[in-house]
Amino acid sequence: MADAQVEQPAAPSTDVIPPEITAQASEAVRRSAKRTREIFAADFAHPSALHKPPQPSVAPADPSPYDRAQKASVAARIRNEYADVKELPAALAQKQANAQAGLAARRKKPRTEEQASDPQMAKMIEDASGQKNGQSQTNGSSMALARIQGTAGAKAPPNANGPTPQRETTSLVRRDTVRQQKPEWHPPWKLFRVISGHLGWVRALAMEPGNQWFASGAGDRTIKIWDLASGTLKLTLTGHISCVRGLAVSPRHPYLFSCAEDKMVKCWDLETNKVIRHYHGHLSGVYTMSLHPTLDVLCTGGRDGVVRVWDMRTRSNIHVLSGHKGTVSSVVTQATDPQVISSSLDSTVRMYDLAAGKTMGVLTHHKKGVRGLALHPTEYTFASASPGSIKQWLCPEGQFMQNFEGHNAVINSLAVNEDNVMFSGGDNGSIAFWDWKTGHRFQYEDSVAQPGSLDAEAGVMSSTFDLSGLRLITGEADKTIKVWRQDESATEETHPLEWRPTLGRQKQPPSTPRHNLLAANKAAEDDHKIAQQTPQYLMITFGDITGDTASFKIKAIPPIGKATSAFARYIEKTRRGGRDSSSKAFKCSMRRRRLLM
């Protein structure tokens, strides 16, 4: 014990800070705190210790005016920033709660003292959210959560409710309800009458303004007048020396206009049944024509790639509307701009200003030659058709509206009536009926070729509705004229609408005409099986045939014709020779090519 060293207390320091220096430092700190509060006080939701007044050791029973003001300020800020936030659905809220609980369990980070000691902020947020939720329950608007990722590299301010590993802003964005218009129900169309008399393809049709008769022009170089009610022949006009391609009947004069591949445009007087005027100017065949509905103006187009505007009475060429680089396949006219619309095999549709004789706009959406145009009789819209594609446009700028998908053929003709039914006829004999408003195809059929001729082919060359819109007239490649009308016995119960809404763009299944199908027999006892029903044996895509020909026979259905029979014989010869042609694609011509050129 004696040897233990006893620690002596340290001697007091002689360096004592003078009171005046302490007063100066306190004043500097006070000024700095005041300046800091003035600059940064607005960035904090609650006051810090620097700009809180000195708190008594014992909290008063009633909050001070300062506390009430701060509480009102925080409540107003919460209301402004979170007024549009709703409570999540129960399933989504439970899912997010479970995810947050799992994340917190993995991180195992306790709350900080500042967050644990400030429950007032969380309570005010919950109160504000609860009040807003009570008001929003009566609101039926569609709301959707949108999560906005924070800027990369930016530090987020601390959250009062707890630690946030990734700063994300979750808010409610008002979004319109996804809706799809339901197509209107239309009764199906059925074949009513078949009219024979022409000796060539019926390439042109025109209705009389009185809806009593119609005219037809064909490859036999004749124009025939038919009674609409009975289908009997009333008159035959001869004068063209080539295929008649266009017809038009004047609503104000007893005139019938015709154009043909002989470069001639003729005006027929129906009182004398003779030609009274010729319109000379086209350098090649004239394929289409249209009469202006209010002016005595005639528009024609043809292989020379221009649209010529004629004065009906003086025979003078008013305008030559150029711009197309290919054959003009169709021309339509209307009373309002654009008064002239033309389509061409150069894949474009042109709209013209008739007064100035200039192009108003060019539509280049089609990828292949445009062969058909159709104006809606009452709406300010029109449609154009190219192989496998029909598009709808809005006048006068030519704004694209929608596609009509599902008719995979070379579409030669379009027609629209006032009941919003559009007809499209294909080069392979396929016909389709559409709802004009929605683009829904409610009927698809194959036109049956007239029997009794070796070169009879199925193909729709021209079409038109009568003025009532209740009858459809088609001119076809089997040299006949077919009259279609609606099935009067059909109802929505007997023929329900085959349609279902789709949120996205969904193409209709491709259409394959019956007369383009081959039959595959795997065994001798099997009947002819349609190729679409047996894809494991045969696959058909628009005349291209692929498959393992060594495992089955191919026989030709009679309506296919000689070309397909020869192709089938070639396949049989290949099979007997023992060669494997499974990886080889064959081209089969189902019909003769029908080109406008």
Is residue 228 included in any domain, yes or no?
A: yes
Please tell me whether residues 467 and 522 are part of one structural domain.
Answer: no
Scored b (16 or more CB within 10 A) or e, 196-215 reads ebbeebbbbbbbbeeeebbb
**pLDDT score of 77:** 78
pLDDT in tens, 249-306: 999 999 999 999 999 999 999 999 999 999 999 999 999 999 999 999 999 999 999 9
Whether 16 is covered by a domain: the verdict is no
CATH code at position 338: 2.130.10.10
Q: For position 64, what pLDDT does the model report?
A: 75
Quote the pLDDT of residue 573: 45
Answer yes or no: do 346 and 459 share one domain.
yes
For residue 54, being part of any structural domain is answered with no
Dihedral angle at the C-alpha atoms of 558, 560, 564, 568, nearest 10 degrees? -40
Pairing of strands 222-227, 233-238: antiparallel
Inside any domain, residue 121: no
Q: Which of 455, 509, 463, 515 is nearest to 479 (CA)?
A: 455
Same domain, yes or no: 535 and 449: no
Task: Select from 420, 365, 352 the least CA-distant residue to 391.
Answer: 365
| Amino acid at site 474 | T
Residues 437 and 298 in one domain: yes
Element (H, E) at 31: helix 19-40
Give dist(CA 242, CA 259) in Å, integer: 10
CA separation (Å) from 44 to 37, 54, 344, 356? Answer: 10, 19, 69, 68
Do 576 and 447 share a domain, yes or no? no
* Structural domain harbouring 354: 189-486
Counting the structural domains of the chain, the total is 2
What is the crossing angle of helices 119-136 and 65-82, to 10°? 50
Please check whether residues 426 and 550 belong to one and the same domain: no
Quick one: 482 and 520 in the same domain?
Answer: no
User: Which of 336, 416, 337 is CA-nearest to residue 374?
Assistant: 416
**Residue 39, in any domain of the structure:** no
Which residues does the chain have with pLDDT short of 50? 1-2, 4, 45, 48-51, 112, 114-116, 132-170, 506-597
Q: Are residues 334 and 385 in the same domain?
A: yes
Please indicate, yes or no, if residue 466 is contained in any of the structural domains.
yes
Residue 214 and residue 305 share a domain: yes
**Cβ count within 10 A of residue 227:** 13
- Co-location of 537 and 472 in the same domain: no
* 418 and 272 in a common domain: yes
Domain assignment present for residue 473? The answer is: yes
Q: Among positive and negative, which fits the CA dihedral 396, 401, 402, 403?
A: positive
Does 319 reside within a domain? Answer: yes
Q: Do both 241 and 347 map to the same domain?
A: yes
Apex 120 CA angle, 116 and 122, nearest 5: 75
Distance (Å, whole) CA 328 – CA 299:
12
Last residue of a domain, one of 433, 467, 486: 486
At 528, the amino acid letter reads H
Give the pLDDT confidence score for residue 11 in this predicted structure. 52
